[in-house]
Amino acid sequence: MSRVVIAGIGQIPVGEFWDVSLRSMATRAMLAAIKDAGGMKPQAVYIGNLLAPVISHQANLGALLTDNAGLRHTEAYTVEAAGASGAGAFRLGYMAVLSGYVDVALVVGVEKFTDWTDGQEEAVAQAADSDYEAVQGATFTSQAALLMQRYLHEFKAPRETFAEFALLAHDNAVGNPNAMFRKPIRREVYEQAELVSDPLNMFDVAPYADGAAAVLLTRSDLAPKELAHPLVAVAGSSCVTDTMALHDRPDPLNFLAAGFSVERACRQAGLMPKDVDFFELYDAFTIYSALSLEAAGFAPRGQAWKLARDGSLSLKGHLPINTLGGLKGRGNPLGATGVYQIVDACLQLRGEAGTNQLENPHRALVQALGGPASTAITHVLEKV
Amino acid sequence: MSRVVIAGIGQIPVGEFWDVSLRSMATRAMLAAIKDAGGMKPQAVYIGNLLAPVISHQANLGALLTDNAGLRHTEAYTVEAAGASGAGAFRLGYMAVLSGYVDVALVVGVEKFTDWTDGQEEAVAQAADSDYEAVQGATFTSQAALLMQRYLHEFKAPRETFAEFALLAHDNAVGNPNAMFRKPIRREVYEQAELVSDPLNMFDVAPYADGAAAVLLTRSDLAPKELAHPLVAVAGSSCVTDTMALHDRPDPLNFLAAGFSVERACRQAGLMPKDVDFFELYDAFTIYSALSLEAAGFAPRGQAWKLARDGSLSLKGHLPINTLGGLKGRGNPLGATGVYQIVDACLQLRGEAGTNQLENPHRALVQALGGPASTAITHVLEKV
């Protein structure tokens, strides 16, 4: 049976590109993915982006990017779902190929965060509830601080164990040439870091950044036979929303949409979460890592910090997470992040993760969140 | 064979809603469409919107609107393709149902234009090329003026015939209770109207406005049997892009993407453009009407104004356009417009167009444009 597969991947390093335009960044990733797929020509381009209208005064990226990448007359539009925008574009590409209507779809996530030097946090806060949260100053960072404070209080988790998530991310990023921060950090550095929003310190927060990543989707029977790398199939896909505002949830420490979307994606793939070999999760904040692991069922409520402490989540552990540095080590180019996560998973499944290569992994769970799991988009990827 | 059908439609009147929030506007249209479809519960909500991030400081409408409409945990995200955003969301809904992955999809277009009292034209200009057009002051309106000037020069079209498009739109809007302008205008009023951007006068330009419209898509075998209205099938769907910037086109008077997308949508539907009973086109400017008619092949290059003059485009003509007022008479709530156009076509095909009802129409061509056909999304709809 023919499956929807990823035939090519492409990315540029995550960082601050003051000298490269949004369209150039995206085009580099797009052309890299097309080349990696043996030159397959896409019939459709789906774009994940959050901030271009606000920061770069640029909408209609569909026409802009197809034009710039030499793909004129190709179907194209933007998908936006806050931090899960890239994952949303990927899901759209998946459905388009699945429908039989599109044979070859290119998915690109792009974010140009550094076009603006003032008010970025405000720009990102538009992805929260503008009328009831953002306008009160409740940014994602301050909300993550509330979540962590509540977590520490409720579960008596030791504050210092959250260091493990940050240390792990930075350790893994060392082996990723496309990561923004390729230096390990020492525990003392974490412990002495400046507070961003009590109790979150600088290392609990993934830095917003510029970036672009792309993948090319097609049907397995259409993929070129001579590719030098294995194909990666999309075995499960799911998008679930929750309340927009954190304060509307009876239990804010339960990332319900994250849990539902893992469940649905795994059910479609015919497996249990424990059957995956690694988990690329959305660690915009260290507390998100803990809550995502618990939502997916990898740890009981209030216990995920123990997995971090006992080494289970490292490259040698039984459930490696964020194997190439995650958002914390790679950087978080918001609307592009969901596609970077897919690319990272593909590198592992294809055996191209370099010094960070896991031993022959077959299945990956990949999840992006929009806000505090207001939107959760999860995919199960499988080496063909 | 099971087809993708529109089982329900909903809309609020187009206008200026200073006292209604974005989420409330959208929710009213969403609930109306669900009710019209006999209460079918959507598994996914696709949202067409252009300006919420810039004007209302609100992104992630997926989580916001599903939450507000009582559809918590439903898949949802935003599709953006400038003025064709609503049509893009509809196309995504169509593909999702076609893929078999989603049984019931709700598509909603929403735009809240009046949240901001200053700089709206600048906000809309973000849908043009920001680096090479908008920043120079080349708004869509000024570009449409250039197009009309060139058209008048090149084809010796009489300036006064463009009045026909505006008069027709206002005539048709009289019978549409959801239109913004329900008054016919006299030729002298058109001729004496203030210039907006020479040679465009006020009546050559559709007014930006607030609005929300929704349609519910499902498979024909799943639609409730007891609905009081016929189903409308999606027979063809296509999205095509062109250069982002008008100045990059060898022939700016050729809306190439508009033509290609009509061709592809009609080919999928197994018919020729002339086989449709009416055409809901994107008359953001009267010159767009002429160029869209020519791109679709309804008139030779430089001749569409003759169709307007000889009455062919009126409700009694052989190719009625914008039968409920189009963008000019209804108002142009940008990201919502593509869905309003689909709703208008459904009203005609269902025989619910009131005093504007065409005689037993079977097929509609519906087209939305992002910018000057930088993006063109076309659908063929058919009464089942």
Return the ∠ at Cα B123 (arms to B290 and A88), rounded to 5°. 90
Distant-in-sequence, close-in-space partners of B220: CB < 8 Å, separation ≥ 6: B2, B3, B4, B5, B231, B233, B384
CA distance A376 to chain B (A): 9
Which tens digits make up the pLDDT trace of A303-333?
999 999 999 999 999 999 999 999 999 999 9
Residue A1 has pLDDT above 70, yes or no: no
Which of B106, B130, B374 is most worth mutating to test chain A (most A CB atoms within 10 A of its CB)?
B130
DSSP per residue over B22-49, as a string? HHHHHHHHHHHHHHHTTTPPPSEEEEE-
Residue B332 has pLDDT above 80, yes or no: yes
Q: Which letter does DSSP use for residue A42 in this model?
A: P
Q: Which residues of B touch A239 (CB under 8 A)?
A: 44, 75-77
Q: Which residues of B touch A74 (CB under 8 A)?
A: 240-241
Coil vs helix vs strand at A233: strand
By Cβ distance, the residue of B98, B242, B245 closest to A101 is: B98
Q: Inspect the interface and report whether the beta carbons of A241 and B99 lie closer than 8 Å.
A: no
Judge whether A11 and A71 are in contact, CB under 8 Å.
no
Which tens digits make up the pLDDT trace of A23-40?
999 999 999 999 999 999
Q: What is the pLDDT of residue A119?
A: 73
By Cβ distance, the residue of A56, A102, A240 closest to B73 is: A240
- Interface membership of A99 toward B (CB under 8 Å): yes
Residue B116 has pLDDT above 70, yes or no: no
By Cβ distance, the residue of A21, A101, A243 closest to B95 is: A101
Which tens digits make up the pLDDT trace of B84-108?
999 999 999 999 999 888 999 999 9
Which tens digits make up the pLDDT trace of A60-75?
999 999 999 999 999 9
- Interface membership of B378 toward A (CB under 8 Å): no
Q: Inspect the interface and report whether the beta carbons of A80 and B57 lie closer than 8 Å.
A: no
Q: What is the pLDDT of residue A120?
A: 77
Sign of the alpha-carbon torsion through B199, B205, B208, B209: positive
By Cβ distance, the residue of A64, A99, A238 closest to B95 is: A99
Which of A43, A56, A64, A101 is most worth mutating to test chain B (most B CB atoms within 10 A of its CB)?
A64
Beta-carbon count within 10 A of B227 CB: 15
In chain B, positions 300-319, which contact chain A (CB-CB < 8 Å)?
none
Which tens digits make up the pLDDT trace of B56-87?
999 999 999 999 999 999 999 999 999 999 99
CA–CA distance, B94 with A99 (Å, rounded to integer): 9
